[in-house]
Amino acid sequence: MTEKRAAPDQRARFEALARIVVDPLHRYLLRRAEPDQVDDVLSETLLVLWRRIDDVPGLDTEDIPDPDAVLPWCYGVARGCLANARRADRRRRSLLERLSTWRTESPEPADPDHTALHAALAQLRSLDREIVLLWAYEELTPSRIAEVTGLSANAVSIRLHRAKKKLAARLERKTGAPPGHETTEGTQGTQGTEGNGRSSR
């Protein structure tokens, strides 16, 4: 019975809080976040407030919350959520930058939604995709990735190398690079080496 009573009480307290803080938090984020981040960060902030409703100072179950009592703490939550969103955005940009080093052609016009990248990642096996993301987003070394995945460091290195090659090839096809571009270059390099009478190793 206690838990049944607690749920409606939590909902009532959250709704009372939300009526006070949503507009100020929205204005707070508008002045600090990128326009396309505002709604997502606000939603995340409200989710945190819901989960931590008992931690909000100055929140009374019976009276209308005092904005001066609750807003500073809620601003702090919004600030933390915005910082998390910015870190995630930096990781996405880092992934794109690192992936671009595998490309043999100059990139085509910008893909603002990164649909080609997401499509290429989606075609990888789940474990290979996780390895790439740990390498690119979390910037882990193969030995650290091995700790996360339970693989050996050597196995991680091999999987990462193969996954990067697959991604590069798929991104080339998406942006219209000439088919067989890399293969042609590799063949020419090999023929030149053999012509000089030297082993390629």
What single DSSP character describes residue 34? -
Cα R_g (the chain), whole angstroms: 25
Q: Which helix (H) or strand (E) holds 162?
A: helix 153-174
- Give me the average pLDDT of each 10-residue run along the chain (201 residues): 59 92 94 91 96 88 78 92 89 74 50 69 87 80 86 93 88 56 36 38 36
Backbone angles phi, psi at 125, to 5 degrees: -65, 150
What is the CATH code for 102-177? 1.10.10.10
Sequence spans of domains, the chain = 2-89, 102-177
Q: Which tokens sit at 170?
A: 């798929």
Question: What's the CATH fold of domain 2-89?
Answer: Rna Polymerase Sigma Factor; Chain: A (1.10.1740)
The predicted pLDDT at position 112 comes to 52
How many DSSP H helices and E strands does the chain contain?
A: 8, 0
The predicted pLDDT at position 30 comes to 92
The predicted pLDDT at position 183 comes to 35
Indicate left, alpha or beta for 133 from its phi (over 0: left) and psi (-120 to 50: alpha): alpha
**Which amino acid belongs to residue 12?**
A
Task: Answer yes or no: are the C-beta atoms of 160 and 135 closer than 8 Å.
Answer: yes
The predicted pLDDT at position 152 comes to 93
